[in-house]
Chain A
Amino acid sequence: MAMDITFDKVGFSYSAGTPFENRALYDVNLNIPDGSYTALIGHTGSGKSTVTQHLNALLKPTEGTVTIGDRVITAKSNNKNLKALRKKVGIVFQFPESQLFEETIAKDIAFGPMNFGVSKEDAMAIVKRVLPLVGLDESFMERSPFDLSGGQMRRVAIAGVLAMEPEVLVLDEPTAGLDPAGRREIMNMFYQLHVDKGLTIVLVTHQMNDVATYANHVIIMEKGTVVKMGPPAEIFQDAEWLQQKQLGLPSALAFLDKLSKKTGIDFGEERPLRTEQLASVLIAKVNENKVPDQAVPGKAGELHA
């Protein structure tokens, strides 16, 4: 079953009906196509995390409708049978290591699947399958999650969500506070799942480079509403507009813009988002400007290699 997610005129307030009412979302319209890698970006406090909690009905909209797969959630829909939905949409919250509680890592990872009715043996089989995905091995199974380093705890927590075998994986800044190697490893792991298993991924992040590298669909939020939605190439077209929204460019594009400004060279219409694309744009420019008979043989070849 396709798990398209659509928000139609969604509004949400925290503590609705009290003096401390706090409006978080206004008229949010967005869609997350099945099988996409969607990045949700925006300034701090723009409502990104509130949106993620609507994706598996942890919060219900105070106005409008959220459609997840074939389920429609409105302010009035009741809380029964949300389990089936929560199994399909897994959320990795910010700093997920704070959700660990069992005596052993194996039990903690199996906790999710067992809540959804998987037998103990099957759950253990899932644990064995999931651990290598997050870069840990079976020797960890019987250890206590509280003896691990922060980075390893994060991996166990992520494994606990992956073990539910969701169809949609929501990641709320999954790599915040990790070292560069750990970040890359975990981000690549998510991307592999997206490519190999067709997992729909929703990534909330402040890292424009991650957006440029992985996402094929971008949603920008500001002050509780969606201000732009589209493919990354389109989103990163207008640097000034992004600046106004307190967002930036991926570093490849930022570098090219600066280079073009300082040297006055026009690099053409193509807007590279990743380092490899930047390299090919620069190589193309270098080759184009070279007078063929002055070229030193081998130099151009080196660049291509």
Chain B
Amino acid sequence: MNCMLDKLLFGRFIQSDSLVHRLDPRAKLVGAFYFIIIIFLANNWQTYLIMTLFTFLCVILSDIKLSVFLNGVKPLVWLILFTVLLQILFTRGGETYLQWGPISITSYGLINGAFIFMRFILIIFISTLLTLTTMPLSLTDAIEKLLGPLKRFKVPVHEIALMLSIALRFVPTLMDEATKIMNAQRARGVEFGEGNIVQQMRAVTPILVPLFVSSFNRADELANAMEARGYQGGEGRTKYRVLNWQLRDTLSLLAFAVLTALLVIFRTS
């Protein structure tokens, strides 16, 4: 359990000063979301090649080693293979190579499987790139700003952003706490990951209960500390971190427009 959390890359940040790091978080967030949408436009090998080249360009510009991304994919590899396998086995159409009851291997299935594989890898790469190059706090700033227009429809944007930033801030703290509690319980003779399912579930109680209790205490203390420092909600607050949209941010979004145009040209209708 520990090792897996250690290896899971998603949601962590690597400090650096590359071009991608310096982009405005709004540009990166919009770009990453947009990429995930337009990847569904790709439907032949040319378009997937374009998407792959674009992703690699982003990776190179981020100054982060490719091996880091490959390690990030590793924990999810079984999920990807499982989905791809289902695609291959249950898609019909085109030339049939093998048929056994409802299971069949067809040319459409193989092509679809390959496309879905690429889709997974590219989406994981781009979203990992987003979190590796953007500080969690900048991300929440970007979300607050981008959701801003929704205030008119009575959506509590500030509160959502605040909850998000607090949640993100406490992810590592809670992970530390969970590790500490696990170690303390292991020292008291609990063995995790052993025995049958019921025993394994029971072994989780000594971690979950203390973790919830300490979260309640922490929430109480944090709320008190915030009130003591004069927090009264989003109304009339100024900002310490100001987002600064620059030419390179506009240019990066233009790159996405070019990408879309290329996709539209090369996709088969």
A: residues with CB less than 8 A from B are 14-15, 18-20, 53, 56, 58, 83, 86-87, 89-91, 93-94, 96, 98-101, 111-112, 115-116, 146, 160-161, 164
Query: Do A93 and B6 touch across chains, with their CB atoms under 8 A apart?
Result: no
Whole-angstrom CA separation of A20 from B191 in the bound complex: 27
- B-chain residues with CB within 8 Å of residue A83 when the two chains form the complex: 189, 191
Residues 163-184 of chain B, each 1 if its beta carbon lies under 8 Å from chain A, else 0:
0000000000000010011011
Whole-angstrom CA separation of A90 from B188 in the bound complex: 7
Query: Do A115 and B188 touch across chains, with their CB atoms under 8 A apart?
Result: yes
Whole-angstrom CA separation of A63 from B21 in the bound complex: 36
Query: Do B7 and A18 touch across chains, with their CB atoms under 8 A apart?
Result: yes
Whole-angstrom CA separation of A189 from B214 in the bound complex: 28
Q: Find A86's partner among B14, B187, B206 (CB 8 Å cutoff).
A: B187
Beyond A15-B6, A18-B7, A19-B68, is A99–B186 a contact (Cβ under 8 Å)? no
Q: Find B71's partner among A18, A90, A164 (CB 8 Å cutoff).
A: A18
Minimum CB–CB distance for A241 against chain B, Å: 33
- B-chain residues with CB within 8 Å of residue A86 when the two chains form the complex: 186-189
Minimum CB–CB distance for B194 against chain A, Å: 9
Sample of 18 A–B contacts (CB below 8 Å): A18-B71, A19-B14, A19-B65, A19-B68, A19-B71, A83-B189, A86-B187, A86-B189, A93-B180, A93-B187, A98-B214, A99-B184, A100-B210, A101-B205, A101-B213, A111-B188, A112-B189, A115-B190
B12 at the interface (CB under 8 A from A): yes
Query: Do A20 and B210 touch across chains, with their CB atoms under 8 A apart?
Result: no
- B-chain residues with CB within 8 Å of residue A87 when the two chains form the complex: 189
B185 at the interface (CB under 8 A from A): yes
- A-chain residues with CB within 8 Å of residue B6 when the two chains form the complex: 14-15, 18, 20
Which 4 pairs from chain A and chain B are nearest by CB?
A: A115-B189, A101-B209, A99-B184, A112-B188
Interface residues of B in 186-237 (CB under 8 A from A): 186-191, 205-206, 209-210, 213-214
Interface residues of B in 51-69 (CB under 8 A from A): 65, 68
Whole-angstrom CA separation of A115 from B191 in the bound complex: 9
Count of A-B contacts with CB under 8 A?
67
Minimum CB–CB distance for B18 against chain A, Å: 15
Q: Find A98's partner among B181, B188, B189 (CB 8 Å cutoff).
A: B181
Whole-angstrom CA separation of A35 from B186 in the bound complex: 24
Query: Do B210 and A98 touch across chains, with their CB atoms under 8 A apart?
Result: yes
Q: Find A53's partner among B183, B185, B191, B209 (CB 8 Å cutoff).
A: B183
Whole-angstrom CA separation of A112 from B186 in the bound complex: 9
- A-chain residues with CB within 8 Å of residue B185 when the two chains form the complex: 99
Whole-angstrom CA separation of A160 from B214 in the bound complex: 19
Residue of A nearest to B214 (CB): A98
Residue of A nearest to B64 (CB): A19
- B-chain residues with CB within 8 Å of residue A112 when the two chains form the complex: 188-189
- A-chain residues with CB within 8 Å of residue B209 when the two chains form the complex: 101
Whole-angstrom CA separation of A89 from B190 in the bound complex: 14
Interface residues of B in 5-60 (CB under 8 A from A): 6-7, 9, 12, 14
Q: Find A99's partner among B9, B181, B189, B191 (CB 8 Å cutoff).
A: B181
Minimum CB–CB distance for B213 against chain A, Å: 6
- B-chain residues with CB within 8 Å of residue A89 when the two chains form the complex: 187
Query: Do B187 and A98 touch across chains, with their CB atoms under 8 A apart?
Result: no
Whole-angstrom CA separation of A100 from B184 in the bound complex: 10
Other than A58-B187, A101-B213, A160-B188, give 15 A-B pairs with Cβ distance below 8 A: A19-B68, A19-B71, A20-B6, A20-B12, A86-B187, A87-B189, A90-B187, A93-B187, A98-B184, A99-B184, A99-B188, A99-B210, A101-B209, A146-B213, A161-B187
Whole-angstrom CA separation of A19 from B184 in the bound complex: 27
- A-chain residues with CB within 8 Å of residue B12 when the two chains form the complex: 20
Beyond A18-B7, A161-B188, A164-B189, is A111–B214 a contact (Cβ under 8 Å)? no
Minimum CB–CB distance for A17 against chain B, Å: 8
Query: Do A101 and B206 touch across chains, with their CB atoms under 8 A apart?
Result: yes
Whole-angstrom CA separation of A87 from B188 in the bound complex: 7
- B-chain residues with CB within 8 Å of residue A98 when the two chains form the complex: 177, 180-181, 184, 210, 213-214
- A-chain residues with CB within 8 Å of residue B180 when the two chains form the complex: 93-94, 98
Minimum CB–CB distance for B59 against chain A, Å: 14
Minimum CB–CB distance for B85 against chain A, Å: 28
Query: Do A111 and B14 touch across chains, with their CB atoms under 8 A apart?
Result: no
Whole-angstrom CA separation of A252 from B12 in the bound complex: 48
Minimum CB–CB distance for B129 against chain A, Å: 14
Whole-angstrom CA separation of A187 from B206 in the bound complex: 27
Residue of B nearest to A115 (CB): B189
Whole-angstrom CA separation of A89 from B209 in the bound complex: 25
Residue of A nearest to B205 (CB): A101
Minimum CB–CB distance for A108 against chain B, Å: 9
